[in-house]
Structure 1
């Protein structure tokens, strides 16, 4: 792994921890949203370790009990760890506003992504810049109640 990749991974992990601490310290008053997007804590089972893992993410679309997540990793050429974990085990949990929801995650197919992507980038224009930055097709993840 390159020094840049190591830095990116550590930076993202640190930001996730800091965000979680901010939510806890403020009793959910600070950091519950990021612009117009809800912030969620995604809990996955590690594909190698079998241990519970969590990541703080934004959900650009929340409707009808579904949460849409974007596996952008800031435009990195690699998928985020959480994405690989949910592909291996799609039964996930989302904690939103202190409530934990049992969800099943799946990757949007090409038609679903085409329909969702304009709404995703309307919520946060950075996603389109992330897609331009990488040759990787950034996955859109749909989390639905199980």
Structure 2
């Protein structure tokens, strides 16, 4: 019930406008309260990247979908804004990153999915988070989808 309520809220025009201002503050609070661990179980992670322009470490809380085999899918929705979120540029510039997920922290290699490969995973992503369709329509862009593959 909570998940359905949040998905409804996340798809509203109000949230798409206010989310970029509200969510970073809530994420910082969640970081302090959880000591940097992900909250939300299997459906969330903390992505640790290096800034594309600054070279500084960056941490971003994201929703994710776990694939068979252990890879994770993440979507650069940016609340339906016209611009892609900064973390996606970080992964394009430096695909070696790390995630904290399901009680573990591990290195990953990011790969942008395009064409048929993206189309194959998109229905599962939308099934888990229907607001991605609204974000796509509102933004006028194709939302970036990355596969984060654990590095051994």
TM tier relative to shorter chain: 0.7 to 0.9
Could you report, residue by residue, the CA deviation over 1:3-29 in whole angstroms, capped at 9, with x for unpaired residues?
A: xxxx7654342232133234339x86x
Structure 2 residue runs of 5 or longer lacking an equivalent are: 1-17
What pairs with 1:16-27 in structure 2 (closer than 5 Å)?
Answer: 16-24=27-35
Alignment partners' CA distance in 2, 1:61 and 1:130: 21
| Number of aligned positions between the proteins | 134
1:118 alignment counterpart: 123
Further displaced range: 60-69 or 129-138: 60-69
CA distance in 1, matches of 2:30, 2:122: 25
Superposed CA RMSD: 2.1
Within a 5 Å distance, the mapping from 1:1-146 to structure 2 comes to 9-24=20-35, 31-33=39-41, 38-146=43-151
Runs of 5+ unmatched residues, structure 1: 1-6
- Any idea what the Cα deviations from partners look like across 1:57-93, whole Å, max 9, x if unmatched? 0103443110000000111111111111111000010
| Length-normalised TM-score, structure 1 | 0.82
Distance in 2 between residues matched to 1:60 and 1:91, nearest whole Å = 19
Q: Is the 8 A contact 1:61 1:68 kept in 2?
A: yes
Looking at structure 2, the residues matched to 124 and 106 of structure 1 have their Cα atoms a distance apart, in angstroms, of 21
* Equivalent residues of 1:23, 1:32 under 8 A apart: no
Contact 2:19 2:79 (8 Å CA) reproduced: no
106-115 vs 12-21, greater mean Cα deviation: 12-21
- How far off is 1:133 after superposition? 1.0
Alpha-carbon contact 2:20-2:78 (below 8 Å) kept: no
